[in-house]
């Protein structure tokens, strides 16, 4: 009861009948009401109550995907950082559990990561029963990295802390991975050096408890901190070629570098690339330990929503599988929504015509569902263009210039082998667009829950051949 009272303090203070309120908290009916809130995304994770920001500790452990997250259980804005916790067996349907990490005398709980210590190198479990370890930042005073472990994925025991060189306050966001070639654990950490110079420090460990610093990647004075915060380091094979591996180092706003990593030092191949082509996608992290060996990413969808009467604020992106593709002399990271999301499809509408032109009837005219996935492939003539309306969001594409405009976000998307391939996911809050096999990921996060659903697809000037136009109604995950 104590925990529940804490969690709902803000509501309780303004409600004298708090005993009744607290006993209602976990009844199915009460949860169902919360999940039906008008601005709650219906197939993206959000907390039952309170604020959410970065995903933390994404990991697969003992048959479940774990999603921890930066969480303020006491209010609808950032503050009082705790680690919230949810689990899923399919990356799609999430069940929120008790808070995993509460603030303590060392500070509030800032972002971090989780690993499964398969070889029991920490000695906190056994090889038959490997421990789950959480690394987080204690954000106060000297700013240290904290460590907690669990053997059941439900209860977490904090240790006194990790042993590592002390760094300036403000350092944060430890991300830990296993580096197979050197047989070492590697941690990346965001650090603000003197003169406001931002950096990623690399550490190495044999036992996950003692860390030594091995290298630094830092920027010039005045360079943006968003290029360094929440560092993420992972390897990706080139297409299906598992012998050709590159390393990716990315940061909070999705900018990433491709290069090589030898267990101590990251060697970029060329300048960093912007990896997120939309708005409000932050602090993405990969799931450690996916049983299918995929590199699955999830990020925070930062939304400016109308909070009137709401019990929660903010949500996560869809889980996406990353891969590396060659584009000319360079490589790009592409994103595909995980296949498990197909389980949400309840009904299919085939909206395809052989060709669309300016006289075609709007193929989406009669669509009523609010939760939609659209999978389309267009083969446009060189001077054609289209306008698509998705519940308050407008997409304009002009083939000649490649200008792809969604809301106020503009990208240049050239045709690929004469085709434009799009997958769109529309929820009650926001749309996620994957263009050209995930080379462009364009999340737009705003309310899309208008009273009457409105969908349209209009082609102007020259005609546009259409190879695929599948529309799926999706079900809610709650």
Q: Which residues are catalytic?
A: 54
What is the DSSP pairing of strand 50-61 with strand 312-313?
A: parallel
Per rule CB under 6 A, is residue 43 in the interface with ligand FRU? no
Backbone angles phi, psi at 344, to 5 degrees: -85, -15
Residues 6+ apart with CB under 8 A from 293: none
3-state secondary structure of 362: coil
Strand partners, 217: 200
- Burial zone of 377 (CB within 10 Å; 0-12 exposed, 13-18 middle, 19+ buried): middle
Per rule CB under 6 A, is residue 229 in the interface with ligand FRU? yes
Residue pair 248/235 in contact (Cβ under 8 Å)? The answer is yes
Nearer to ligand FRU, 53 or 305 (CB): 53
Smallest Cα–Cα separation from 191: which of 223, 162, 217, 221? 217
Per rule CB under 6 A, is residue 217 in the interface with ligand FRU? no
Residue pair 363/353 in contact (Cβ under 8 Å)? The answer is yes
- Selected from 144, 173, 290, 297, the binder of ligand FRU by CB under 6 A is 173
For tokens 């546009």, name the residue: 464
- Selected from 53, 88, 323, 436, the binder of ligand FRU by CB under 6 A is 53
* Minimum CB–partner distance for residue 53 and ligand FRU (Å): 5
Nearer to ligand FRU, 110 or 472 (CB): 110
Smallest Cα–Cα separation from 203: which of 215, 191, 192? 215
* Minimum CB–partner distance for residue 281 and ligand FRU (Å): 11
Smallest Cα–Cα separation from 118: which of 287, 289, 285, 236? 289
Smallest Cα–Cα separation from 322: which of 233, 261, 199, 405? 233
* Minimum CB–partner distance for residue 225 and ligand FRU (Å): 9
* Touching ligand FRU, residues 374-403 (CB under 6 A): none
Q: What number of helices (H) and strands (E) belong to the chain?
A: 4, 35
* Minimum CB–partner distance for residue 29 and ligand FRU (Å): 32
Nearer to ligand FRU, 147 or 351 (CB): 147
Smallest Cα–Cα separation from 445: which of 289, 303, 260? 303
Nearer to ligand FRU, 229 or 373 (CB): 229
* Touching ligand FRU, residues 240-299 (CB under 6 A): 252, 282-283
* Touching ligand FRU, residues 110-169 (CB under 6 A): 110-111, 137
Smallest Cα–Cα separation from 406: which of 425, 383, 384, 419? 425
* Minimum CB–partner distance for residue 54 and ligand FRU (Å): 5
The two tokens of residue 219 are: 């920027």
Nearer to ligand FRU, 111 or 145 (CB): 111
How distant is the alpha carbon of residue 28 from its chain centre?
A: 27
**Number of residues this chain uses to bind ligand FRU (CB under 6 A):** 14
Binding to ligand FRU by CB under 6 A, coded x per residue (else -) over 63-102, reads: -------x----------x---------------------
* Minimum CB–partner distance for residue 142 and ligand FRU (Å): 16
- Selected from 40, 44, 66, 172, the binder of ligand FRU by CB under 6 A is 172
* Touching ligand FRU, residues 306-325 (CB under 6 A): none
* Minimum CB–partner distance for residue 418 and ligand FRU (Å): 40
Residues that bind ligand FRU (CB under 6 A): 53-54, 70, 81, 110-111, 137, 172-173, 229-230, 252, 282-283
């Amino acid at each position: 009861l104590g925990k529940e009272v804490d969690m709902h303090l803000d509501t309780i203070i303004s409600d004298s009948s708090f005993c009744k309120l607290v006993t209602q908290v976990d009844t199915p009916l009460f949860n169902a009401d919360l999940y039906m809130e008008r601005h709650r995304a219906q197939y993206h994770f959000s907390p039952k109550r309170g604020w959410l920001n970065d995903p933390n500790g994404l990991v697969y452990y003992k048959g479940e995907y774990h999603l921890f997250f930066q969480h303020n259980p006491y209010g609808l804005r950032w503050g009082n950082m705790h680690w919230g916790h949810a689990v899923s067996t399919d990356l799609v349907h999430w069940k929120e559990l008790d808070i995993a990490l509460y603030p303590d005398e060392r500070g509030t709980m800032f972002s971090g990561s989780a690993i499964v210590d398969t070889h029991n190198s920490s000695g906190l479990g056994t090889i038959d029963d490997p421990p789950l370890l959480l690394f987080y930042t204690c954000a106060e005073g000297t700013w240290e990295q904290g460590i907690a472990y669990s053997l059941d994925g439900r209860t977490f025991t904090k240790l006194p802390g990790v042993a590592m060189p002390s760094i300036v306050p403000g350092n944060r966001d430890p991300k830990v991975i296993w580096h197979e070639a050197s047989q070492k654990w590697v941690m990346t950490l965001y650090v603000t050096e003197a003169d406001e110079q931002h950096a990623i420090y690399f550490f190495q460990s044999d036992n996950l408890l003692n860390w030594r610093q091995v290298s630094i990647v830092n920027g010039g004075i005045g360079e943006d901190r968003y290029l360094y915060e929440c560092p993420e380091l992972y390897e990706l094979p080139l297409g299906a070629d598992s012998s050709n591996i590159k390393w990716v180092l990315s940061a909070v706003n999705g900018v990433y570098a491709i290069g090589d990593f030898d267990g101590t030092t990251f060697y970029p191949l060329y300048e960093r690339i912007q990896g997120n082509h939309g708005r409000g996608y932050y602090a993405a992290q990969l799931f450690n330990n996916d049983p299918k060996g995929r590199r699955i990413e999830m990020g925070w969808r930062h939304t400016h929503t109308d909070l009137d009467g709401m019990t929660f604020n903010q949500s996560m992106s869809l889980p996406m599988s990353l891969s590396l593709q060659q584009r000319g002399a360079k490589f790009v990271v592409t994103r595909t929504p995980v296949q498990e999301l197909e389980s949400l499809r309840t009904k299919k509408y085939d909206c395809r015509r052989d060709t669309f032109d300016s006289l075609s009837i709007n193929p989406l005219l009669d669509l009523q569902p609010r939760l939609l996935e659209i999978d389309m492939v267009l083969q446009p003539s060189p001077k054609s263009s289209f306008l698509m309306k998705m519940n308050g969001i407008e997409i304009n594409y002009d083939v000649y210039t490649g200008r792809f405009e969604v809301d106020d976000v503009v990208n240049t998307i050239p045709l690929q082998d004469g085709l434009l391939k799009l997958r769109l996911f529309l929820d009650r809050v926001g749309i996620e667009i994957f263009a050209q096999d995930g080379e462009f990921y364009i999340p737009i996060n705003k309310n899309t829950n208008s009273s009457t659903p409105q969908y349209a697809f209009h082609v102007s000037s020259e005609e546009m051949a259409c190879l695929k136009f599948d529309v799926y109604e999706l079900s809610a995950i709650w």
